[in-house]
Amino acid sequence: MNGERIRVRGLVQGVGFRPTVWRLAQDLGLTGEVRNDGEGVLIRIWGPPPERDRFCAELLVQCPPLARIDALERQPCDEPPPAAGFRIVASVAGSVHTGIVPDAATCPACRRELFDPADRRYRYPFINCTHCGPRLSIVAAIPYDRANTSMAVFAMCAACQREYEDPGDRRFHAQPNACAICGPRVWISERGGQALDPAVLGAVDAIAAASHLLGQGAIVAIKGIGGFHLACDATDARAVAELRRRKARFAKPFALMARDLDVIRRFARLDAIEAEQLASVAAPILLLAADGAERVADEVAPGQTTIGFMLPYSPIHHLLLDAWERPLVMTSGNRSDEPQCTDNDEAAERLHGLADYWLWHDRAIVNRVDDSVVRILDGAPRLLRRARGYAPAPLNLPPGFAAGPPILAFGGELKNTICLLQDGQAVLSQHLGDLEDARTAREYERTIDLYLELFRHQPAWFALDHHPGYRSTLVGIERAARAEVPIRRIQHHHAHIAAVLADNGWPLAGGRVLGIALDGLGYGADGTLWGGELLLADYAGYERVGWLAPTPLPGGGKAILEPWRTAYAHLATHLGWERVRAAYPDLEVVQWLADRPLEILDRQMATGFNAPVTSACGRLFDAVAAVLGIGRGGIQYEGQAAIELEALACRAGDDDTSAYPFAWREAVEGAPSDTIELDPTPMWQALLADLAAGRSAPEVAVRFHRGLAEAVANGAARLAARHHCSTTALSGGVFQNRLLFEDLALRLRGLGLVVLAHRQVPTNDGGLSLGQAVVAAAQVIG
């Protein structure tokens, strides 16, 4: 018997998989056919067994760059072989489940053609092939055909059409295929909107003109793959400061783009894993240690020891940066706190006054897709923002979830993503952003509809956070009523822990772990705000066995924006303000706080009026940062105080290994008997004593980090022993902090515990929807 059927599952459609199969079969002299269908790709081949074995082995090796083979199943086939040759069978409409792959950075072959004067696409800024180019950003509906993308308005010329139809060509069925004759084009305009002739600047084309203007210190708005960027020379302090002023973004770091790894190495330390991540097809922003020989302008990342770098990922960027030996700022094209622009008219209006020049193009961006962010933490790359290059590639769920019903999870409030669960896979949307913004909230609803269509998803359940004020929850409740879909409300930190379990392939029947959720704020089961929790958890349920001592937030949300309020609440609650004042009358922070309207805060804390109580770890970071003078009066972006506290700690020497003491209290009044509460009182006593003794702020910051890591590790070990579990699962926004994360992980392993932490999914609320979905699934599966 010389025939067999080969079933290939994974990301195998719309990525040049069938041409690869075709070429391989031709090379090995096999006959047969290949087709896309509802389950992936089906191959039928005939030929001698050794050749067929080689075919399968080679397919795994030669798998196209954007494809992902999850399974390859071989079965004998009795049918007679076809007459001769190997052919690609056209897909039957409606039977194909193509899904959508992420946008991918320009491949090496396209890059070569882009800079080859002899190539017909020399300097054509929309060059792409089945191995690279836009996907999610241009698609409006399925199937993923040109007609359902923003390329629909560009009719292919004869040359492009030939490539598109030739199975031997890299551009076979490349939906965004185009050239200068038939495809999208770029142009440049000045502030007032009038087009600018590149020749006037002595430039060969619009992109060269933009590059030239950037060199003169201009701020240029650049339309890219998933949105607009604002760009300027990152070494030009005046330009960077001007960009900050115009954007009204005064503190949050700007991302940078550099032509190649060599340029990046001059400004940042770069190890092998980081270099590999930067050069990957996803081409994310990497957070790197900013200690190269040269420095970008201080205004790029004030108060930071890291900078975010990415490589060019579209032909536009390659052309723009070709002549640049220095990095460019490439920050999202928006005013502070808004989503970046995607539409030309919208950009002209919203970016008015922000840019000196605009580099436009006429391929519409259908879906906003932000740049992804990766940081190497505890030796592994971890996604902190999952968007371009990653979404919407499905994540394979751990064993046990294949039987689950289709579930739609609505995510959190900030850094929102949504998640679809079906067929043992989770599709996590790209980072959508903060739903308090009206534009993002609108996009949020549109994205829900888009994903339901793209993945033909009919949810049997909705999974929502418990917070009554999250827009995601409100939208979910409204949609549930309309569509008559039942709801499951999932506790915020249970969702965090479930997300990290799913991220690590922890089986549904894997049993309980000790979840360590160190987070900002999440709505707790008791109506208070949680965020420093030790949860004995599996997918279906949890028990709250430990927490940070509750502390009020006088002023509610205001306390988050003004960390001095939280600092005062901590000192007043855990030490007593009068005692602090009496003991340290000369301490700068004590005098500073004494000048604030403390009697109002006291009153709020006494009556509970707009002073919700929280156990959140993020707020403890705020309090310590504020005592040290960081962000005390007001922060500019979420998590700023904690991020700058980490940066401060990184400036301390390594010779001192002291850690501030904390105390675990067993079974505090009103709590179940085997629970523990972390009391920060000894930490505050030691910290204030250090400040009074003139210890430097970096040293205090590092001792705080170490003390917290030590305390959490010890508490976790105590509970793990008590409840007979040996695995810890770390999640929550605080684990973006490298110092705390790595120190805690080290200590936990030292105590004999296994540590699970996020990799493919953000540890912050960007990963929340995945956790909500798997918790709901586990509860429904039962």
Partner 1 sequence: MGHGAGGRAMAQLIDELFQRHLDNPLLRQHNDQALFTPPPGRLVISTDGHVITPLFFPGGDIGSLAVHGTINDVAMAGARPLYLAAGFVLEEGFPLADLDRLVASMAAASRSAGVPIVTGDTKVVERGKGDGCFITTTGLGVVPDGVAISGDQARPGDAVLVSGSLGDHGVAILSQREGLGFATEIRSDSAALHDLVAAMVAAVPGIHCLRDPTRGGLATTLNELARQSGVGMRLREAAIPIQPAVAAACELLGLDPLYVANEGKLVAICAADDADILLAAMRAHPLGAQAARIGEVVADPHRFVQMETRFGGQRIVDWLAGEPLPRIC
Q: Specify whether the CB–CB gap between 187 and 195 falls below 8 A.
A: yes
Q: Which of 229, 765, 770, 778 binds Fe ion (CB under 5 A)?
A: 765
Stretch that binds Zn ion, among 108-116, 391-399, 635-643, 721-729 (CB under 5 A): 108-116
Residue 123 interacts with which of Fe ion, Zn ion, partner 1, none, CB < 5 to 8 Å by class: none
69: left (phi over 0), alpha (psi -120 to 50) or beta: beta
- Min CB(281)–Fe ion separation in Å: 29
CB of residue 780 to partner 1, shortest distance in Å: 26
Q: Yes or no: say if 516 and 756 are a contact pair by the CB < 8 Å rule.
A: no
418-456: string of b/e by CB count within 10 Å (b at 16+)? bbbbbebbbbbbbbbbbbebebbbebbeebbebbbebbe
Q: Which span sits near Zn ion by CB under 5 A: 106-114, 417-425, 533-541, 573-581?
A: 106-114
Q: Which does 467 bind (CB under 5 to 8 A by kind): partner 1, Fe ion, Zn ion, none?
A: partner 1
* Ramachandran assignment for 424, one of left (phi > 0), alpha (psi -120 to 50 degrees), beta (any other): left
Nearer to Zn ion, 108 or 608 (CB): 108
Q: Taking each helix axis as running N to C, give the angle between helix 640-649 and helix 697-722, from 0 to 180 degrees, rounded to the nearest 10.
A: 110
DSSP state, 195? B
Among 18, 131, 375, 385, binds Zn ion (CB under 5 A): 131
> Could you give the C-alpha distances from 404 to 229, 425, 781, in angstroms and in order?
41, 10, 6
**Cβ 490 vs Cβ 776: under 8 Å:** yes
What six digits make up the tokens of 518? 């160190």
CB distance 228 to 221 below 8 Å: yes
Binding of Zn ion by 132 (CB under 5 A): yes
* Contact (CB, 8 A) for 587 and 688: yes
Nearer CB in complex with partner 1: 637/664: 637
Q: Which of 157, 237, 261, 671 binds Zn ion (CB under 5 A)?
A: 157
Residue 423 interacts with, from partner 1, Zn ion, Fe ion, none (CB under 5-8 Å by kind)? none
- Closer residue to Zn ion in complex, CB, 161/216: 161
**657 touches which of Fe ion, Zn ion, partner 1, none (CB within 5 to 8 A by kind)?**
none
Residue 15 binds Zn ion (CB under 5 A): no
Token pair 């897709």 is at which residue? 369
The answer to whether residue 129 forms part of the interface with Zn ion (CB under 5 A) is yes
Interface with Fe ion, residue 465, by CB under 5 A: no
Which stretch, 80-88, 149-157, 573-581, 713-721, contacts Zn ion (CB under 5 A)? 149-157
Residue 686: count of CB within 10 angstroms of its CB: 19
436 binds, among Fe ion, partner 1, Zn ion, none (CB under 5 to 8 A by kind): partner 1
Tell which residue, 521, 321, 499, has the closest CA to residue 426.
499
Question: Smallest distance, Å, CB 493 to partner 1?
Answer: 10
The entry of Zn ion, partner 1, Fe ion, none that residue 110 binds, CB within 5 to 8 Å by partner kind? Zn ion
**C-beta of 434 vs 519, nearer to Fe ion:** 519
* Residue 460 in contact with Zn ion, rule: CB under 5 A: no
CA angle, corner 33, sides to 28 and 39, nearest 5?
120
Stretch in the footprint of Zn ion (CB under 5 A) among 105-113, 401-409, 475-483, 493-501: 105-113
Tell me the C-alpha distance between 710 and 73, whole Å.
49
CB atoms within 10 A of CB 247: 22
Which of Fe ion, Zn ion, partner 1, none does residue 160 bind to, with CB < 5 to 8 Å depending on kind? Zn ion
Least separation, in Å, of the C-beta of 733 and Fe ion?
Answer: 6
132 or 428: whose CB is closer to Zn ion? 132
Q: Tell me the HSE value of 90 on the side-chain side, using a 13 A CA sphere.
A: 4
- Nearest alpha-carbon partner for 32 in 14, 58, 51: 51
CB under 5 A: which stretch of 15-23, 195-203, 532-540, 758-766 binds Fe ion? 758-766
Residues that bind partner 1 (CB under 8 A): 248, 335-338, 350, 412-415, 435-439, 441-442, 445, 467-471, 474, 492, 519-523, 529, 531, 553-560, 565, 597, 599-600, 603-604, 607, 609-610, 612, 618, 638, 733, 764-765
Q: 461-465 and 613-614 as β-strands: parallel, antiparallel, unpaired?
A: unpaired
Closer to partner 1 by Cβ: residue 437 or 543: 437
Residues facing residue 76 across a β-bridge: 4
Residue 359, SS3?
A: strand
Task: Choose between 40 and 524: whose C-beta lies nearer to Fe ion.
Answer: 524
Query: Which position has the token pair 């999640």?
Result: 731
HEC-encoded secondary structure of 148-187: HECCCCCCCCHHHHHHHHCCCCCCCCCCCCCCCCCCCCEE
Query: Which residues have C-beta within 8 Å of that of residue 98, sequence separation ≥ 6?
Result: 13, 14, 36, 142, 143, 144
Does position 519 interact with Fe ion (CB under 5 A)? The reply is: yes
Q: Which is nearer to Fe ion, 205 or 622 (CB)?
A: 622
Q: Which stretch binds Zn ion (CB under 5 A): 87-95, 123-131, 202-210, 675-683?
A: 123-131
Joined tokens for residue 119:
């190539």
Which two structure tokens, joined as six digits, stand for 650?
């990184």
Residue 179 in the binding site for Zn ion (CB under 5 A): yes
Q: Shortest gap between Cβ of 638 and partner 1 (angstroms)?
A: 6
Nearer to partner 1, 11 or 495 (CB): 495
Per-residue 3-state assignment (H helix, E strand, C coil) for 649-689: HCCCCCCCCCCCCCEEEECCCCCCCCCEEEECHHHHHHHHH
Nearest C-alpha neighbor of 107 from the set 86, 83, 127, 80: 127
Residue with Cβ nearer Zn ion (151 or 232): 151
The nearer residue to partner 1, 175 or 614, going by C-beta atoms, is 614
Tokens of 560: 């988050």
CA-CA-CA-CA torsion sign (583, 585, 588, 591): positive
Residue with tokens 């003139």: 694
C-alpha neighbours within 13 Å on the C-beta side of residue 106: 24
Part in contact with Zn ion (CB under 5 A); list of ranges 48-56, 129-137, 455-463, 661-669? 129-137
The interface partner of residue 337, options being Zn ion, Fe ion, partner 1, none and the CB cut-off 5 to 8 Å by kind, is partner 1
Among Zn ion, Fe ion, partner 1, none, partner that 132 touches (CB below 5 to 8 angstroms by kind): Zn ion
Q: Does 182 bind Zn ion (CB under 5 A)?
A: yes
Using CB under 5 A as the binding rule, whether residue 163 contacts Fe ion is answered as: no
Question: With CB under 5 A, what is the number of residues at the site for Zn ion?
Answer: 10
Q: Check residue 281 for interaction with Zn ion (CB under 5 A).
A: no
| Stretch of 49-57, 121-129, 593-601, 764-772 lying at the interface with Zn ion (CB under 5 A) | 121-129
For residue 194, give every residue at least 6 positions away whose Cβ sits within 8 Å of its Cβ, in sequence order, or none. none
Taking the complex as a whole, the smallest distance from the CB of residue 564 to partner 1 amounts, in Å, to: 13
- Which partner from the list partner 1, Fe ion, Zn ion, none does 182 bind, CB cut-off 5 to 8 Å by kind? Zn ion
Stretch that binds Fe ion, among 127-135, 201-209, 521-529, 691-699 (CB under 5 A): 521-529
Say if residues 521 and 465 touch (Cβ distance below 8 Å): no
Q: Which stretch binds Zn ion (CB under 5 A): 134-142, 152-160, 214-222, 245-253?
A: 152-160
Binding site partner of 107, from Fe ion, partner 1, Zn ion, none, Cβ cut-off 5-8 A by kind: Zn ion
Q: In the complex, what is the shortest distance from the CB of residue 368 to partner 1, in angstroms, rounded to a whole number?
A: 15
114 binds Zn ion (CB under 5 A): no
Cα gap 563→569, rounded to integer Å? 10
Distances (CA, A) of 562 to 505, 566, 640, 719: 39, 8, 11, 34
What's the min distance (Å) between Cβ of 364 and partner 1?
21
Max Cα–Cα distance, the chain, nearest Å: 97
List interacting residues with Zn ion (CB under 5 A): 107, 110, 129, 131-132, 157, 160, 179, 181-182
List interacting residues with Fe ion (CB under 5 A): 519, 522, 765
